[in-house]
Amino acid sequence: MKISLNWIREFVEVKASPQEIADRLTLAGLEIEKVEDQGRGLDKVVTATILKRDKHPNADRLSLCEVRVGSQIHSIVCGADNMKAGDRIALALPGAVLPNGMAIQETVIRKVKSGGMLCSEKELGLKEESQGILILSQEIPEGLPLAQALKLEDVFFEVNVTPNRGDCLSVLGLAREVAASFKVNLKVPNIGGFSKALPESLPVKVLNEASELCPRYTCRILRGVKVAPSPEWVQRRLESCGIRAINNVVDATNYVLLERGQPQHAFDLSQIRKSQIVIRKAKAGEKMKTLDALERNLNADDLVIADGERILAIAGVMGGEDSGVEASTKDLLLESACFAPEAVRKTSKRLGLQTESSYRFERGVDPNGCRIALDRLAELILEWAGGEVLQEAADSYPTPLKPIELTLRSERLEKVLGEKFSFSQIQEYLRPLGIDCREGKAGPWNCIAPTFRPDLTREIDLVEEVARIHGYNKIPTTFPKLALDEIPPSSEHPIEGIYRILAAWGFCGVMNYSFSSPSLLKKFYSEIPPDLCLMNPISEELSVMRPSLLPSLTKNLRDNYYWGNKALKLFEIAPVFSPGKSLKDKRGESLRLCLGMLGPRRGLHFQEKPEKADLLDLKGYLQAIFGPQISFFELSQGEKASYWHPKRCLGLKLDGHPAGVLGELHPGLAGEMDLNDPVALAEINLDLFLTESKNKIQFKDISPFPSIERDLNLILAEGTSHGDVLKVLGEMKDPWIRKIELFDLYRGAPLPEGKKALTYRIEYGDAERTLTDAEVNQARERLLSLLNQKLGATLR
Amino acid sequence: MKDSLLNSLEALQQDFQNILPQMTDEIRLQEIKAQFLGKKGRLTEVLKEMGRLSGEERPQVGAKANEVKNFIEGRVDEALQRLKSDSLNKALSQDLFDATLPGRPELRGHIHPVHQTLVMVRNIFEKLGFQTHYGPEIEDDYHNFEALNIPVHHPARDLQDTFYLQGKDWLLRTHTSTVQIHVMENQKPPFRMIAPGTVYRSDSDVTHTPMFHQIEGLWIDQDTSFGDLKGVLSLFVKQMFGSTIEVRFRPSYFPFTEPSAELDMTCLFCRGQAKACPVCKSTGWIEVLGCGMVDPEVFRFVKYDPEKYSGFAFGIGIERLAMLKFGINDLRKFFENDVRFLRQF
* Contact state of A482 with B166 under an 8 Å Cβ cutoff: no
Cβ neighbours of A500 in B, within 8 Å = 111
Q: Residues near B306 by Cβ (< 8 Å), separated by ≥ 6?
A: B296, B299, B300
More reliable by pLDDT, A690 or A159: A159
Residue A461 pLDDT more than 80? yes
Residue A82 pLDDT more than 60? yes
**Tens digits of residue pLDDT in A783-794:** 999 999 999 999
Test the A interface: residue of B165, B233, B235, B307 with most A CBs within 10 Å: B165
Looking at residue A122, what is its pLDDT? 85
Of A646, A628, A645, nearest to A637 by C-alpha is A646
Contacting B residues, span 94-153, partner chain A, CB-CB under 8 Å: 101-102, 104-112, 114-115, 119, 126, 128-132, 136-139, 153
* Contact state of A477 with B101 under an 8 Å Cβ cutoff: no
**Tens digits of residue pLDDT in A31-72:** 999 898 887 778 889 999 999 999 999 988 999 999 999 889
* Contact status, residue B225 vs residue B212, Cβ threshold 8 Å: no
Put simply, whether B310 touches A (Cβ < 8 Å) is yes
Residue B282 pLDDT more than 80? no
Quote the CA–CA distance of A667 and A661 in Å, as a whole number: 17
Q: Residues near A538 by Cβ (< 8 Å), separated by ≥ 6?
A: B202, B204, B210
Q: Which of A478, A510, A605 sits opposite B112 (nearest CB)?
A: A510
Q: Quick one: closest CA in B to A472, which residue?
A: B249
* Contact state of B231 with A513 under an 8 Å Cβ cutoff: no
**Tens digits of residue pLDDT in A172-198:** 999 999 999 999 999 988 887 788 889
* Contact state of A583 with B258 under an 8 Å Cβ cutoff: no
Test the B interface: residue of A466, A478, A597 with most B CBs within 10 Å: A478
- Inter-CA distances, B140 with A545, B168, B178, Å: 16, 9, 9
* Contact state of B138 with A506 under an 8 Å Cβ cutoff: no
Test the A interface: residue of B143, B331, B342, B344 with most A CBs within 10 Å: B342
Quickly state the pLDDT bin for A311 (edges 50, 70, 90).
Answer: very high
Quote the CA–CA distance of A773 and B274 in Å, as a whole number: 83
Quote the CA–CA distance of A579 and A60 in Å, as a whole number: 73
**Tens digits of residue pLDDT in A498-554:** 999 999 999 999 999 999 999 999 999 988 888 889 999 999 999 999 999 999 999
pTM recorded for the entire structure? 0.85
Looking at residue A582, what is its pLDDT? 45
**Tens digits of residue pLDDT in A277-300:** 999 999 999 999 999 999 999 999
Percent of chain A with pLDDT over 90: 76
Residue A452 pLDDT more than 50? yes
Test the B interface: residue of A342, A416, A590 with most B CBs within 10 Å: A416
* Contact state of B295 with A29 under an 8 Å Cβ cutoff: no
pLDDT, mean over chain A? 92
Put simply, whether B272 touches A (Cβ < 8 Å) is no
Q: Which of B105, B155, B339 sits opposite A560 (nearest CB)?
A: B339
DSSP annotation of A400: P
Distance from CA of A528 to the nearest CA of B (A): 13
**What length does chain B have?**
345
DSSP A492-547: P-HHHHHHHHHHHTTPEE----SEE-HHHHHHH-S---GGGBBSS-SSGGG-EE-S
A322 burial type by CB count under 10 A (0-12 exposed, 13-18 middle, 19+ buried): middle
Q: Quick one: closest CA in A to B172, which residue?
A: A534
Cβ neighbours of A421 in B, within 8 Å = none
Q: Which residues pair with A653 in a beta bridge?
A: A631, A658
DSSP annotation of B244: T
Q: Quick one: closest CA in B to A462, which residue?
A: B259
* Contact state of A416 with B163 under an 8 Å Cβ cutoff: no
Quote the CA–CA distance of A631 and A472 in Å, as a whole number: 59
Q: Which of A463, A480, A587 sits opposite B228 (nearest CB)?
A: A480
Quickly state the pLDDT bin for B264 (edges 50, 70, 90).
Answer: very high
> In this structure, are strands A303-306 and A276-281 parallel, antiparallel, or unpaired?
antiparallel
Q: Which domains does chain A have, with CATH numbers?
A: 2-38+155-182 (3.30.56.10), 45-149 (2.40.50.140), 205-396 (3.50.40.10), 406-474 (3.30.56.10), 494-692 (3.30.930.10), 708-795 (3.30.70.380)
Quickly state the pLDDT bin for A583 (edges 50, 70, 90).
Answer: very low
Q: Which of A29, A362, A536 sits opposite B163 (nearest CB)?
A: A536
**Tens digits of residue pLDDT in A148-166:** 888 778 899 999 999 999 9
* Contact state of B252 with A29 under an 8 Å Cβ cutoff: yes
Question: Averaged over B170-180, what is the pLDDT?
Answer: 95
Of B40, B42, B51, nearest to B72 by C-alpha is B42
> In this structure, are strands B191-200 and B131-132 parallel, antiparallel, or unpaired?
parallel
Looking at residue A149, what is its pLDDT? 86
Quickly state the pLDDT bin for A129 (edges 50, 70, 90).
Answer: confident
| φ and ψ at residue A461, rounded to 5 degrees | -65, -35
Q: Which residues pair with A156 in a beta bridge?
A: A4, A36
**Tens digits of residue pLDDT in A261-283:** 999 999 999 999 999 999 999 99
Q: Which of B169, B296, B340 sits opposite A565 (nearest CB)?
A: B340
* Contact status, residue A40 vs residue A154, Cβ threshold 8 Å: no
Quote the CA–CA distance of A575 and B22 in Å, as a whole number: 81
Distance from CA of B89 to the nearest CA of A (A): 29
Distance from CA of A546 to the nearest CA of B (A): 13
* Contact state of A417 with B295 under an 8 Å Cβ cutoff: no
Distance from CA of B95 to the nearest CA of A (A): 20
* Contact state of B337 with A487 under an 8 Å Cβ cutoff: no
Of A93, A97, A157, A147, nearest to A123 by C-alpha is A97
* Contact status, residue A590 vs residue A578, Cβ threshold 8 Å: yes
- Using DSSP, state whether A411 is helix, strand or coil: helix
Contacting B residues, span 2-61, partner chain A, CB-CB under 8 Å: none
Looking at residue A580, what is its pLDDT? 59
* Contact status, residue B320 vs residue B286, Cβ threshold 8 Å: no
* Contact state of B138 with A589 under an 8 Å Cβ cutoff: yes
Test the B interface: residue of A162, A502, A604 with most B CBs within 10 Å: A162
Phi-psi region of A149 (alpha: psi -120 to 50; beta: other; left: phi over 0): alpha
Q: What is the ipTM of this complex?
A: 0.85
Q: Which of B165, B192, B343 sits opposite A531 (nearest CB)?
A: B165
Q: Which residues pair with A73 in a beta bridge?
A: A68
Helices (H), A563-627: 582-585, 615-626
* Contact status, residue B170 vs residue B138, Cβ threshold 8 Å: yes
Question: Averaged over B81-97, what is the pLDDT?
Answer: 91
Cβ neighbours of B153 in A, within 8 Å = 341-342, 345-346
Looking at residue B270, what is its pLDDT? 83
Cβ neighbours of B319 in A, within 8 Å = none
Looking at residue A585, what is its pLDDT? 53
DSSP B121-159: HHHHHHHTT-EE----SEE-HHHHTGGGT--TT-GGGGG
Put simply, whether B259 touches A (Cβ < 8 Å) is yes
Residue B274 pLDDT more than 70? no
Question: Averaged over A590-595, what is the pLDDT?
Answer: 95
Put simply, whether B211 touches A (Cβ < 8 Å) is yes
* Contact status, residue A210 vs residue A499, Cβ threshold 8 Å: no
Cβ neighbours of A346 in B, within 8 Å = 153
End-to-end CA distance of chain B: 88
Test the B interface: residue of A33, A461, A472, A484 with most B CBs within 10 Å: A472
